[in-house]
């Protein structure tokens, strides 16, 4: 018996030919693959196109989002630009994550809609994007659109969707759901 | 005396800026090149804001290197309960200083005569006279020996780091690093001896001039080029030879226990070494700072047509040529790093001792015979 | 002038590090001091404009020999508690003997001593006969002293090995 044990045979022994075992040509092949991808993508970047499959996260809406994607809350507006919300607190009641906070304000000069939110805040660090607020709203004042909230931040204070941020969106031409027609201008104005 | 001091002071300042600047840029290149290779976008969030304005300079994430450096400097300098505090603190310096030193003998430009930059008769021209200096910090006659000698010292740093960290992972990493670097240094030295036999000199500047006269070293010594590049990447402990610091097995290898700028020195020296290796490859095999047909008086085309250039333009052109070549070779190294998988340790040793070393010896023998035949 | 200053500086450094090699108790410290000593010697050679010898000093002694020594020390990883003490217990007698020996050598080989070399008559071309004559007449005492020192080193090594902990 020789002192050296027989080499163990494995079922998945590598089957390398001489070409693979010389290694250098396989390196060249690998480099040509990665280099090919690099130069193809680089050519796209240089000619002003996008040479990547990933998306810039908050800036860019991903192309594969569903049209019904419930990403970010928006507060709809009346044609005169005022917020449609009447601060009834139904959305805050329906919210399972308790993340909506509304402070009402009253404007007695507005006959049709005297109540409006002074503060309308959504805590995006707690929101679960369930969409119950949209369903609860009797005035169609809150909707969710195909967008991402501006979440990245260094602490929780910047994760609040405030009223002015929620109203940055001006969806006067939403193809899926028409906006209510502009109300007739009220003629009788009660003096305060 | 004074012109010497001034010129060499400028050289040292330029080379330090060149090495550190290019190393920082290579950290960016590593991120961005890998991203583009993998259909990603890459790091692009760090920015510089111009003071008193809201103008944010993003520049494709170029400032991530600065952000990294600042982060490293301001992190807590945690020291483990180490056995040997002195060695622990000495190791990062022993690992990073030799890398910087190697560049001292690399010529980054041709002969420069500073007196010719200025108006004849002006004070500056009088100060420099008509002396000329090689663009090289130390114009040693034993250039390549210096490269080998100094790069061997760096092993001490990695071993000390692993040993003094008082950690099994560090210890394993240091043992791996030391055996790997010693093994590949042999192959590297043999490959370089073949180069020396071909050029008939050990002076790096003379090697560049030889290549300008005859042909680029990559055409004359292709095997030595491959061997040298492989061995240098192994010396640098980067993928596919990154067993000393492979994250999946050894956390971070020999510098696991290092924090803040001490770890930064290890990381930075890795990128500086990319620049140094590229500079050596360019000098030894890719014609150094020379461009085809560029002579000290301007472009001299083989047909006899000449395009006269001023001395200043030629010097700037040589320095830029060197920088561009170094950048391209460095990008090639990073391309290798993002293409190849890591070796297993026995494969690594097999490659070093059973493949590269015999090949280097064979190459040396063939070179010697050819040289003897043609002499 | 500046070169002379550098030679003196590196000579002093070499002596200091050589002393540390002898008195340091922890093997890694001794090895590092030896590295520094070799590097100082290389620096002296470099100051004397013999770059090749300086580089081979670094290449062979630091890059190869000392690397293997440090490797061995690292792998043995001998963490004896006795190393907490930085210097060995026989530091004072050792240094005293070294100083006495040094003074004796200076007395014998110095400019006033019997072994002092007679003034050299310039550097002629190298010839083996002249070299042999000089070796046998002028430098025999140095040579014999070197053998005595080597013998002392062998005895010391034997004593160290025999020491029972």
The complex scores an ipTM of 0.82
- pLDDT > 70 fraction of chain A, expressed in percent and rounded: 81
Q: What is the pLDDT of residue C40?
A: 92
Dihedral sign computed on CA atoms, order A93, A94, A98, A101: negative
Of B142, B160, B178, Cβ closest to residue C51: B142
Chain A residue numbers touching B341 (CB-CB < 8 A): none
Q: Does A touch B (3+ CB pairs < 8 Å)?
A: yes
pLDDT digit string, tens, across residues B195-220: 998 888 888 888 888 888 888 888 88
Beta strands in chain B (DSSP E): 48-49, 56-57, 109-112, 133-135, 294-295, 298-300, 306-308
CA-based nearest residue to B153, from C60, C72, C20: C60
A28 touches chain B (CB under 8 A): no
- Mean pLDDT (whole number) for A22-42: 89
> Residue B12 and residue B19: Cα distance in Å, rounded?
10
**Residue B181 domain-assigned?**
yes
CA-based nearest residue to C74, from B289, B87, B97: B87
pLDDT at residue C119 greater than cutoff 60 = no
- Mean pLDDT (whole number) for A181-188: 55
**Residue B25 domain-assigned?**
no
Q: What is the rounded end-to-end Cα distance, in angstroms, of chain A? A: 113
State the best of B136, B139, B152, B158 to mutate against chain C, taking most chain C CBs within 10 Å. B152
B182 burial level (CB within 10 Å; 0-12, 13-18, 19+): middle
Task: List chains touching A (3+ CB pairs under 8 A).
Answer: B
Q: Which residue has the tokens 């002249």?
A: C130
Query: In terms of pLDDT, which residue wins out, B275 or A151?
Result: B275
Query: In terms of pLDDT, which residue wins out, A189 or B374?
Result: B374
**Residue B345 domain-assigned?**
yes
- Mean pLDDT (whole number) for A139-148: 80
pLDDT category at C113 given cuts 50, 70, 90 is low
Q: Token pair for residue C27?
A: 């093997």
Q: Cα torsion for B274, B279, B280, B281, to the nearest 10°?
A: 90
Q: Between chains, do A27 and B336 touch, taking CB under 8 Å as contact?
A: yes
Q: Which range of residues forms the domain containing residue B137?
A: 83-374
Q: What is the pLDDT of residue A168?
A: 65
Angle between helices C27-47 and B85-102 (to 10 degrees): 30
Of B40, B226, B335, Cβ closest to residue A34: B335
Chain A residue numbers touching B44 (CB-CB < 8 A): 56
Give yes or no for a contact between A120 and A111, defined as CB atoms under 8 angstroms apart: no
For chain B, how many structural domains are there in total? 1
Low-confidence ranges of chain B (pLDDT < 50): none
Q: What is the pLDDT of residue B323?
A: 92
Of C52, C63, C71, Cβ closest to residue B142: C52
pLDDT category at C124 given cuts 50, 70, 90 is low
Query: In terms of pLDDT, which residue wins out, B331 or A172?
Result: B331
Least confident range from A2-6, A31-35, A71-75: namely: A2-6
**Residue B283 domain-assigned?**
yes
Q: What is the pLDDT of residue B362?
A: 93
Q: What is the pLDDT of residue A186?
A: 55
Of B145, B146, B159, Cβ closest to residue C70: B159
Q: Between chains, do B145 and C56 touch, taking CB under 8 Å as contact?
A: yes
pLDDT at residue A192 greater than cutoff 70 = no
A63 touches chain B (CB under 8 A): no
> Residue A110 and residue A189: Cα distance in Å, rounded?
8
Residue B109: which H helix or E strand, with range? strand B109-112
B340 touches chain A (CB under 8 A): yes
Q: Between chains, do A27 and B226 touch, taking CB under 8 Å as contact?
A: no
Q: Between chains, do B36 and A35 touch, taking CB under 8 Å as contact?
A: no
CA-based nearest residue to A128, from A99, A154, A152: A99
pLDDT at residue A32 greater than cutoff 90 = yes
pLDDT digit string, tens, across residues C15-44: 899 888 888 778 888 888 999 999 999 999
CA distance A78 to chain B (A): 33
Q: What is the rounded end-to-end Cα distance, in angstroms, of chain C? A: 51
> In sequence order, what are the residues at sequence separation of 6 or more whose Cβ sits closer than 8 angstroms to the Cβ of residue B252?
B169, B173, B245
pLDDT digit string, tens, across residues B302-329: 777 777 778 888 888 888 989 999 999 9
- pLDDT > 70 fraction of chain C, expressed in percent and rounded: 82
- Side-chain half-sphere exposure of B303, counting CA atoms within 13 A: 2
pLDDT at residue A50 greater than cutoff 60 = yes
Q: What is the pLDDT of residue B327?
A: 93
pLDDT digit string, tens, across residues C91-103: 788 788 888 888 8
pLDDT at residue A183 greater than cutoff 90 = no
Q: What is the pLDDT of residue C159?
A: 82
Query: In terms of pLDDT, which residue wins out, B239 or A80?
Result: B239
Q: What is the pLDDT of residue A78?
A: 76
């Amino acid at each position: 018996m020789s002192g050296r044990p027989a080499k163990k045979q494995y079922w998945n022994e590598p089957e390398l030919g001489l070409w693979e075992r010389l290694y250098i040509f396989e390196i060249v092949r690998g480099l040509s693959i990665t280099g090919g991808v690099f130069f193809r993508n680089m050519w796209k970047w240089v000619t002003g196109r996008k040479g990547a499959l990933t998306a810039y996260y908050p800036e860019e809406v991903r192309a594969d989002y569903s049209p019904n994607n419930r990403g970010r809350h928006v507060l709809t507006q009346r044609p005169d630009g005022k917020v449609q919300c009447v601060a009834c607190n139904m959305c805050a009641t329906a919210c399972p994550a308790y993340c909506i906070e509304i402070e009402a304000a009253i404007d007695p000069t507005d006959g049709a809609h005297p109540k409006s939110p002074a503060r309308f805040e959504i805590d995006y660090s707690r929101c679960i994007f369930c969409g119950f607020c949209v369903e609860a709203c009797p005035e169609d004042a809150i909707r969710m659109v195909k967008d991402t909230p501006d979440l990245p931040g260094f602490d929780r204070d910047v994760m609040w969707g405030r009223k002015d941020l929620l109203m940055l969106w001006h969806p006067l031409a939403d193809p899926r759901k028409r906006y209510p027609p502009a109300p007739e201008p009220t003629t009788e104005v009660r003096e305060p | 005396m004074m012109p010497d001091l001034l010129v060499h002071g400028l050289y040292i300042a330029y080379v330090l800026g060149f090495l550190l600047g290019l190393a920082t840029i290579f950290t960016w290149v590593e991120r961005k090149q890998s991203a583009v290779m993998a259909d990603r976008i890459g790091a692009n969030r760090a920015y510089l804001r111009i003071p008193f304005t809201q103008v944010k300079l993003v520049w494709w994430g170029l400032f991530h290197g600065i952000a990294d450096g600042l982060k490293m400097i301001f992190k807590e300098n945690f020291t483990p309960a180490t056995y040997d505090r002195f060695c622990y603190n000495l190791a990062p310096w022993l690992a990073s200083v030799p890398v910087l030193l190697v560049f001292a003998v690399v010529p980054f430009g041709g002969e420069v005569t500073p007196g010719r930059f200025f108006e004849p008769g002006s004070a500056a021209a009088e100060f420099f006279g008509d002396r000329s200096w090689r663009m090289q910090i130390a114009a040693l006659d034993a250039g390549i020996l210096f490269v080998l000698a100094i790069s061997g010292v760096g092993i001490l740093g990695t071993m000390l780091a692993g040993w003094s960290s008082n950690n099994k992972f560090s210890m394993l990493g240091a043992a791996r690093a030391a055996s790997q670097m010693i093994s590949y240094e042999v192959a590297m030295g043999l490959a370089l001896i073949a180069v020396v036999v071909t050029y008939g000199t050990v002076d790096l500047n003379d090697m560049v001039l030889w290549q300008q006269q005859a042909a680029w070293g990559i055409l004359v010594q292709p095997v030595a080029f491959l061997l040298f590049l492989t061995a240098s990447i192994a010396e640098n402990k980067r993928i596919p030879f990154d067993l000393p610091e492979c994250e999946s097995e050894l956390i971070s290898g020999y510098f696991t226990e290092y924090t803040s700028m001490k770890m930064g020195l290890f990381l930075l020296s890795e990128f500086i070494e990319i620049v140094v290796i590229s500079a050596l490859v360019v000098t030894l095999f890719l014609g150094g700072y020379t461009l085809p047909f560029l002579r000290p008086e301007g472009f001299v085309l083989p047909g006899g047509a000449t395009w006269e250039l001023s001395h200043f333009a030629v010097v700037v052109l040589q320095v830029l040529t060197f920088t561009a070549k170094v950048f391209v070779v460095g990008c090639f190294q990073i391309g290798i790093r993002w293409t190849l998988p890591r070796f297993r340790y026995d494969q690594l040793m097999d490659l070093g001792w059973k493949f590269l070393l015999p090949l280097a010896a064979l190459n040396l023998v063939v070179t010697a015979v050819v040289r003897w035949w043609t002499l | 002038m500046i070169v002379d200053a550098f030679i003196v500086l590196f000579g002093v450094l070499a002596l200091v590090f050589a002393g540390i090699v002898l008195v340091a108790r922890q093997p890694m410290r001794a090895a590092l001091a030896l590295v520094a000593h070799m590097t100082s010697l290389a620096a002296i050679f470099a100051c004397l404009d013999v770059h090749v010898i300086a580089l081979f000093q670094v290449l062979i002694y630091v890059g190869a020999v000392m690397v293997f020594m440090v490797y061995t020390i690292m792998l043995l990883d001998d963490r004896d508690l006795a190393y907490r003490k930085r210097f060995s217990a026989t530091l004072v007698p050792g240094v005293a003997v070294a100083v006495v020996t040094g003074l004796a050598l200076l007395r014998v080989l110095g400019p006033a001593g019997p072994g002092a070399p007679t003034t050299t008559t310039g550097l002629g071309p190298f010839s083996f006969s002249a070299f042999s004559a000089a070796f046998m007449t002028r430098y025999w005492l140095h040579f014999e002293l070197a053998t005595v020192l080597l013998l002392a080193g062998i005895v010391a090594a034997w004593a160290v090995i025999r020491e029972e902990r």
